[in-house]
Structure 1
Amino acid sequence: MCGRYNLLDSDSVRELLEGLGLEVQGKRLPDRYNIAPTEQVPVVVKAQGETGLEPMRWWLTPAWAKAPDTRYSMFNARSETLATSPAFKPSLHHQRCIFPLSSFIEWRKEGAIKQPYLVEYQGGAMAVAGLWSHWQGLETEFYSCTMITTAAVTGFEPFHHRQPAYLSTTEALAWLNPDVEGRKLLHLLRPQLPQPLRIRAIDPAVNSARNKTGLAFLAREEMCVD
């Protein structure tokens, strides 16, 4: 599961975006901390031969929905059920996207508290598979997206049994290709780590999604998952 993440203007994020076909030279990317579901987030999409970084609501609303609904968690989508889920199957066909991440936040129960941890690659930004949708009502319309998860690799299971669907840059380019039917790309969504993970305990202030001021690390030993 991934319910909070960070996206910072860094060399590694720029390298990832350029590797996906985006022109970011000379452009300022705003630092975003503690991004939470239902917020507007930038995702990489490819349509009509053009690749863009588009703002979308992080909580997918299917095109067929009568109205936006938050009764069901739609910010994550399980890779195992994409091809059968009425909510996600239409987007799987040709509405796929990539979430660029600097890091994400996961919680682990430690005694009476849930301790937050920052999870990041030891080097480089993360490319995570996603889906998007276009919803249109009588008076409004918007684009929305969901982040795909897979089963966790063994080393990450102490934190959560699910993890973001990490992709290498080559895999991410394939995932973005709208000319390929989505079922043919499901093999890309598997428990893997394109790079080792670094995991560090952070201040519980991030438990509140209103805290967007940055991250404070606790004086604890770092952990590595590879």
Structure 2
Amino acid sequence: MIEPFILFGEQHIETLAYTFGIIILICLISNFISTSLQNIVTKIIGISLLGFEIIRPFLYIFVFEKPWETYLPLHMCAFSAFLIGIFLLSKSRNQMFFELPYYWGVGGATMALATPDLTLGWPDVEYFFFFYGHGQILLGVFFALTVLKYRPHLQNFKRMAVITIVLLIPIYAANFLIGGEANYWYLMDKPAGDSLAVFMPEAPYHILGIAPLALIVFFITYVPFLLWDKFKKA
């Protein structure tokens, strides 16, 4: 029998430890291998990111018979996976294809892993898909950061914020048109489970708290670089 998911229960803590441990190990080892091997690892991560995001909706909808309205790749983390996957596989890498997943991924995926929108624990397939999918987003971002030596820049933060806010309109429209329980980017209702959203007003006013909170979290992810730049100038 599959047990209910318990936030910060033993299983959750162990899964977080394994997830971040694997990310750190891969990034660490990849700094001590040849450039040709780095290129192979880069491609493997990129293919895994794109392949998983393309295949996952079909598995959910046609194999596990989940409602199609809620399993389309329209969440922010799915966008992050596609962008960082394309970034890793591209020869001429677009900086914003790194920076958008950096903010959306480090801010969004980390919060998702810390407060998963799950009701059942392992070995439920959704539990595995959730941690694998979000974990490899962070792997792609931190691989680009620590191995490929890309970094976000403050002048692009405003562009990221504008892109994020502008995308709220088509994502809200998609939720409205899809109907049912569609809740992409959590614009229609607060996420299920325990998270900071429980302190927000009820829908639809919850977005007035979630949107600025998201931008604050995104900026916090830039703070280490801000401090590093000030340290170098000192």
**Higher helix content, 1 or 2:** 2
- Higher percent of residues as strand: 1
Query: Larger radius of gyration, structure 1 or 2?
Result: 2
TM-score by length of structure 2 reads 0.26
